[in-house]
Amino acid sequence: MSDFFDALDTAARLIARLDPELRDIIVLSLAVSLTASVCAFLIGAPLGTALAVYRFRGRGALIVIANALLGLPPVVVGLAVYLLLSRSGPLGSLGILFTPTAMIIAQAMLGAPIVVALVHRMMVDVWAAYGDALLVDGASRLRAMAPIMSIGREALLTAFLAAFGRAIAEVGAIIIVGGNIRGYTRTMTTAIALETSKGDLSFALALGIILVILSMIVSASTLLVGRSLTIR
């Protein structure tokens, strides 16, 4: 048990001292994962809603695919993005491998299916309750999407947080496409992996405790902002 107490103690001291390197790592983790989950949301939310609102051939297949991709292994996404962005790959001329941008791309790919699947599942109910009324009022299905999304905004918030949770906790993809470069692409999770490999287990666990706290703060504040907007 002493490892755990050591870790708690180290975490408390790290937070109290706010080491500049740790601060940069925290800022990068949040910036990469928030941006990635926002991208995943902007792609996934309209898509998930459309899957609930429209009826077309192949819709069922798309829903199955989105749900199947929930289990997408980060390490596979990382490898695919690596091969795409490598100098020898199709997008190599962009020169963005081993940069935060590459990490955002990988995490957005991981988050998008989560947003699509969750938004679809929840919007199906909203559409069942309000869809006919909106169509009777003369709105097209396209015009109906905005009010549907507005009614189901708490569901959208949940989907966003699920995507963020996946991103901030993930290490397999970003360690491949980011390279865990100190001061440049090192995030909380890749730093934890590194400290573990250096055998400094209590320091690694201390970083983990800070990561959990951060993740809770982001989720709680997003929910609070969401609630204040909902009550308005």
Segment near other proteins (CB under 8 A); pick from 53-61, 67-75, 180-188, 207-215: 180-188
Question: Could you please report the per-residue DSSP string of 154-207?
Answer: HHHHHHHHHHHHHHHT--HHHHHHHTT-TTTT--HHHHHHHHHHTT-HHHHHHH
Gap between the Cα atoms of 48 and 116, Å rounded: 4
Q: Which amino acid is at 55?
A: R
Binding mask 47-76 for other proteins (x = CB under 8 A): ------------------------------
By CB under 8 A, residue 206 contacts other proteins: no
By CB under 8 A, residue 168 contacts other proteins: no
Gap between the Cα atoms of 26 and 167, Å rounded: 14
By CB under 8 A, residue 91 contacts other proteins: no
By CB under 8 A, residue 101 contacts other proteins: yes
By CB under 8 A, residue 13 contacts other proteins: no
Cβ closest to other proteins, residue 27 vs residue 68 = 27
* CB-CB contact of 156 with 230 (8 Å): no
Binding mask 181-200 for other proteins (x = CB under 8 A): xx-xx--------x-xxxxx
Q: How far is the CB of 88 from other proteins (least distance, A)?
A: 4
Cβ neighbour number for residue 14 with a 10 Å cutoff? 16
Binding mask 111-150 for other proteins (x = CB under 8 A): -----------------------------------x--xx
Instruction: Give the burial string for 49-82 (b: 16+ CB within 10 Å, else e).
Output: bbbbbeeeeeeeeebeebbebeebebeebbbbbb
Of the candidates 142, 116, 136, the residue with the CA atom closest to the CA atom of residue 54: 142
Gap between the Cα atoms of 131 and 52, Å rounded: 10
By CB under 8 A, residue 95 contacts other proteins: yes
Q: How far is the CB of 27 from other proteins (least distance, A)?
A: 7
The residues, ordered by sequence, that sit 6+ positions from 44 with a Cβ below 8 Å of its Cβ are: 111, 112, 113, 114, 115, 116, 119, 159, 163
Q: By CB under 8 A, name the one of 8, 15, 38, 79 that touches other proteins.
A: 38
Q: How far is the CB of 156 from other proteins (least distance, A)?
A: 7
Q: Residues interacting with other proteins, by CB under 8 A?
A: 27-28, 30-32, 34-35, 37-38, 41-42, 45, 86-89, 92, 95, 97-101, 104, 146, 149-150, 153-154, 156-157, 160, 179-182, 184-185, 194, 196-201, 222, 225-226, 229-230
